[in-house]
Chains A and B, each alone.
Chain A
Amino acid sequence: MSRGGGHVGALRSFLKKVAQFVIVLATTLLGLVAVTFFIGRVVPIDPVIAIVGDRAPAHVYERVRQELGLDRPLIEQFVIYVKKAATGDFGNSVLTTNPVMTDIINVFPATLELATLGTIIGVIVGIPLGVLAAVKRGSLLDQFVRVLGLVGYSVPIFWLGLMGLLLFYAKLGWVAGPGRIDVTYSYLYTPVTGIVLLDTAMQGQWDAFWDAVSHVLLPACLLGYFSLAYISRMTRSFMLNELAQEYVIAARVKGLSELRVIWRHALRNAAVPLITVIALSYANLLEGSVLTETVFAWPGLGQYITNSLQNADMNAVLGGTLVIGTVFVLLNLVSDLLYRLLDPRTR
């Protein structure tokens, strides 16, 4: 009996969590939509011109304006939008004329590919650098990591991107140029996931795969560098905090090896807040880095939303904003779950 009650209790608390999550997601998204919608409508750009162009005669202009529902009051437009969105209809983009979600499904994998690789690089390189900087505080290495981080923060990414291209692509020829894959290979595989590396590998097109690798290498390293700059700084400060704790002293007194103290005990505790940092930095990259995407001709979410915004293509902007909002909420959820795994106190 008591066991069964425990199950029910666990289920209830699980359901409660799910309900909480849904409510958080829904309110976040509704707020986002409201803000984006009203900003979009007060921006002094006429979306009709984006569709019909500058030369269209008056009756064509008027017809399109009505088709877009722009002749109705703002509140009415908003209610219509939310009602439709709730049923999964996010409208069509005026620029591409596709349903917004189709467009996003087309552009998001490109961003996902780049952001994921960037974050992996950032974590693999950034965390050890941060740990070493904390351990060797004040040393040459610490200074080096600090400068690396500062440069990563302060140098404009398009400049670094162009310089990277100039050096590694134009001068040295180590990597391929802008674009996701060479035109010679672009029709050798069928897009399934939209992630070129996965698609080519799954279809055994290894030449195409390696070409895609040489295309993604530079932009991924660039984004990796930026997340590394942030992650290594945060790791350093979390580690300094942990290394000053009594349990570290106790572990040392117990005679544990320094390696074990640092990488096993201190880092494990520092990892808890670090999860949030990594999740946030990943979410930032998933928004799509407009400048990186522009320099590397990477057809991702950042370029899509920017281009839509400049043309007052509000359905596309709203759809993109919703996707980014969902990504943030989901990553928050994931980092919450990881928290629970890593920190026994929260269980």
Chain B
Amino acid sequence: MKRLPKFLLSAAMVAAMATSFSAVQAATPPDTLVQAWQSDDIISLDPAEVFEFSSSEIIGNTYERLIAYDIKDVSKIYGQVAESWTISPDGKTFTFKIKPNRKFASGNPITAEDVVYSLQRAVALDKSPAFILGQFGLTKDDMKDKIKQTGPLEMTFEVDKPYAPTLVLYCLGNSVASIVDKKLLTQNEKDGDWGYNWLKTKYAGSGPYIMRDWKANEVLVLERNPNYEQKTPLARVIFRHIKETASQRLLLEKGDVDVARNLNPEEIAAVAKNPDIQIQSGPKGTVYYLGLNQKNPNLAKPEVRQALKWLVDYQAIADTIMKSKGDVHQNFLPKGFLGAETNNPYKLDVAKAKELLAKAGLKDGFTVTMDTRSTADITGIAQAMQATFAQAGIKLEILPMDSKQALTKYRARQHDIYIGNWGSDYQDPNSNADTFASNEDNSDNAKAKPLAWRNAWDPGPLTAKTRAAVMERDAEKRAQMYKELQKAVLDDGPFVIFLQQTEVAAVRKNVQNFILGPSFSDNDVSQTKKN
């Protein structure tokens, strides 16, 4: 009798502790969206430097650009900071009128001066994405003559050749061309660094959200920008870096996060059954492909390149390995791009492949290696290909390695087959044509290293055609040129393109208007709300 109360007491204590712990972890606050994502790729938050998936998404939600495009139909271009624009008859000078009475988050007004400063700054800093503007013949030395303020709310942007206008506009809509707050950055400038060392971890924009706080590999916080016209329904968006996908799933199902961004196909299938969770997806401008090194004498044979294209079980890879995360796609332009070809002529046909191999004098097949990044999906795809290649006598050795290691080898042209993916830098078809269908110099010490170069492939007349397509100002004719380029690469190129990526996020049911756009900077939470 004496011991009973003590036992009861301790039992009550345990129960109280247990309930207090669970009471502590309530659902996420109603005015806050919490996302679990893998963000260890972020190295900077300066728009002039950002070129990684995660950071482009942050720039997309926190900065504005001169122009933007409709994410449902990327061919519809509209002014964001720009009210209107005109193009000179020679096609080389773009004049932009800036919307009046608009402010940065700091309260400073947005003027033509800021726009000129932003574009010049990106060119002068010359970080990785600077070529997106630099390709129009802009350099640090002549940018002052080419990017000019012509009025308080008017500026001009001059390019060196009469490019297709949409190419120039898409590039001005890229995150590298984001408009930054000149006054704020000048205050934080040190030794003529354009405020770069400050902005790497800070914020100077005018977008729907303010970037409030970033702790690398831990958390990134966006907060509503009170100076933005169309106020965001949410007060803040929190991105928590959760590397492990199984942990992301647990947090989502428990309600401690509202969105899980990196679940693998199995986990997506599992959470889809949860009535509190919806699956959102958006096709991305990223294609998966095999790169066949033409330095390998077997792979250099046109029949072998063709045979390999008949030895991939495209449908099975899309349906069973990638599930919701990709669709069969065999051309180098992703769906949604100007001139994108959507026919997929190849399928698994072992007999046809054997015939082609016999023609190439490789009746009994051959042995070849494939550099494979050790991620679950890439490894799975590689194994599926190993099985189908074997049916035609080709022995595929998978070399698993870290992604940066594989990339280093690829860029040195030391692979046989590389399995990789390529995401477009901007929404214009030139972004992909330039890498898949052109190669100015196939020598080992070439300056530019497009994918064609990395696979030691000389595309011959296709290079000139790619250059010509950039100058074609008639959109229909231009689209036709890209269709021809795609056909040529599809038939004879050293690329076995097999999939277009779909980005998938698992989102709790009470979240609305969470948008996954065509590029990573288009993943948009500005109109997201919670019920």
Do the two chains belong together in a single complex?
A: yes
CB within 8 Å of B: which of A158-175? 158, 162, 165-166, 169-170, 172-175
A303–B200 touching, CB < 8 Å: no
The answer, yes or no, to whether A294 is at the interface (CB within 8 Å) is: yes
Q: Is the CB of A178 within 8 A of B244?
A: yes
Would you give the shortest CB distance from A32 to chain B, in whole angstroms? Answer: 23
The verdict on B101 contacting chain A, using a C-beta distance below 8 Å, is no
Contact of B128 among A46, A53, A304 (CB under 8 A): A53
Cross-chain contact of B29 among A175, A176, A184 (Cβ < 8 A): A184
Closest chain-A Cβ to B88's Cβ sits at a distance in Å of 28
Asked if B43 and A166 make an inter-chain contact with CB atoms under 8 angstroms apart, the answer reads no
A45 touches B250 (CB 8 A): no
Q: Known contacts A50-B404, A174-B22, A210-B24: does B425 contact A55 (CB below 8 Å)?
A: yes
8 Å CB contacts to B: which residues of A48-95?
49-60, 63, 94-95
Task: Report whether B127 and A178 are in contact in the complex, using a CB–CB cutoff of 8 Å.
Answer: no
Interchain CB contact under 8 A, A297 and B404: no
Tell me, yes or no, whether A244 is within 8 Å of chain B by CB: no
Give the one of B134, B250, B411 with max A CB within 10 A.
Answer: B250
Chain A contacts for B251, CB-based, 8 A: 177-178
Determine if B240 and A297 form an interchain contact, defined as CB atoms under 8 angstroms apart.
yes
Whole-angstrom CA separation of A275 from B129 in the bound complex: 55
B21 touches which of A58, A173, A311 (Cβ 8 Å): A173
B503 to chain A, nearest CB (A): 19
Report B410 CB to chain A, min CB distance, Å: 9
Q: Does A296 lie at the interface of the complex (its beta carbon under 8 Å from any beta carbon of B)?
A: yes
* A50 to B41 Cα, complex, angstroms: 9
A95-B43, A96-B216 known; A55 vs B128 contact (CB < 8 Å): yes
Which residues from chain B contact A54 at a C-beta distance below 8 Å? 407, 411
When each residue 26-42 of chain A gets 1 if its CB lies under 8 Å from chain B and 0 otherwise, what string results?
00000000000000000
CA distance A45 to B402 in the complex (A): 9
Interface presence of A183 (CB below 8 A): yes
Taking the closest CB of chain B, its distance from the CB of A251, in whole angstroms, is 34
Contact A179 B240 (CB under 8 A): yes
A145–chain B nearest beta-carbon distance, Å:
24
Which among B24, B134, B250, B405 is the interface contact of A165 at CB below 8 angstroms?
Answer: B250
The answer to the question of B231 belonging to the interface, with a C-beta cut-off of 8 Å to chain A, is no
Greatest chain A CB density within 10 A among B21, B254, B256, B402 is at: B21
How many residues of chain B get a CB closer than 8 Å to chain A's CBs?
A: 54
Q: Report A-chain residues with C-beta under 8 Å of the C-beta of B20.
A: 210
B241 contacts which of A106, A297, A312 (Cβ < 8 Å)? Answer: A297
Kindly provide the distance from the CB of B447 to the nearest chain A CB, expressed in whole angstroms: 4
Q: Which residues of B contact A303 (CB under 8 A)?
A: 217, 243
In the assembly, what is the distance between CA of A307 and CA of B18, in Å? 35
Known: A55-B51, A183-B28. A49 touches B408 (CB 8 A): yes
Q: Which of B34, B40, B131, B411 contacts A307 (CB 8 A)?
A: B40
Provide the residues of chain A in CB contact with B32, threshold 8 Å.
Answer: 183
Q: CA separation between A114 and B238, bound complex, in Å?
A: 24
What 1/0 flags go to B112-144 for Cβ under 8 Å of A? Answer: 000000000000001111110010000000000
- Is A178 a contact partner of B402 (Cβ separation < 8 A)? no
> Is the C-beta of A299 less than 8 angstroms from some C-beta in chain B?
yes
Q: What is the CA–CA distance of A169 and B44 in the complex, to the nearest angstrom?
A: 34
Tell me, yes or no, whether A97 is within 8 Å of chain B by CB: yes
Is A186 at the interface (CB under 8 A from chain B)?
A: yes
Q: Provided the pairs A51-B43, A183-B34, A214-B24 are in contact, do residues A311 and B250 lie with their beta carbons within 8 angstroms?
A: no
Contact sample, A vs B, 8 pairs, CB 8 Å cutoff: A53-B52, A54-B407, A55-B131, A97-B44, A170-B250, A178-B247, A183-B34, A214-B24
By Cβ-Cβ distance, the 4 closest A-B pairs, closest first, are A173-B22, A56-B128, A46-B408, A58-B447
